[in-house]
């Protein structure tokens, strides 16, 4: 595992990822940071926890909309999509758990 230092909405995080997956993780961080920063800057959502939940819902909705017939995920079952979401959730939990001790 490789340790990767990233920043999301001005907050530093150290994330672990498999060797060779650094670029993908960096792209995900950049995408999520953009979503969360846009929500914060809109002034419609207050509080980092609410911003994170709204961004997660937005990303999940985008992901699931790709599941439409003929879409890039159309060959996956709903169970497989849920498993992928569960895997992503576990990665986020592992990355964010050490941060909880800072507050």
User: Coil, helix or strand for 6?
Assistant: strand
Whether 25 contacts 17, CB under 8 Å: yes
CA–CA distance, 16 with 46 (Å, rounded to integer): 29
pLDDT above 60 for 102? no
pTM for this model (two decimals): 0.63
CA–CA distance, 15 with 96 (Å, rounded to integer): 8
Read off the pLDDT of residues 42-59 as tens digits, 9 standing for 90 and up: 888 888 888 898 888 888
Whether 4 contacts 22, CB under 8 Å: yes
Out of 17-21, 34-38, 74-78, the most confident range is 34-38
Domain borders along the chain are 2-100
Read off the pLDDT of residues 61-76 as tens digits, 9 standing for 90 and up: 777 776 666 666 667 7
Residue of 1 and 73 predicted with greater confidence: 1
């Amino acid at each position: 595992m490789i340790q990767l230092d990233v920043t999301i909405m001005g907050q530093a995080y150290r994330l672990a990822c498999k060797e060779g997956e650094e670029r993908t993780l960096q792209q995900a961080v950049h995408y999520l940071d953009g979503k969360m920063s846009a929500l914060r800057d809109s002034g419609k959502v207050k509080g980092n926890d609410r911003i994170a939940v709204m961004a997660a819902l937005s990303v999940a909705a985008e992901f699931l909309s790709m599941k439409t017939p003929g879409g890039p995920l159309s060959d996956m079952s709903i169970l497989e999509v849920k498993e992928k979401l569960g895997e992503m959730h576990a990665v986020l939990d592992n990355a964010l758990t050490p941060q909880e001790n800072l507050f």
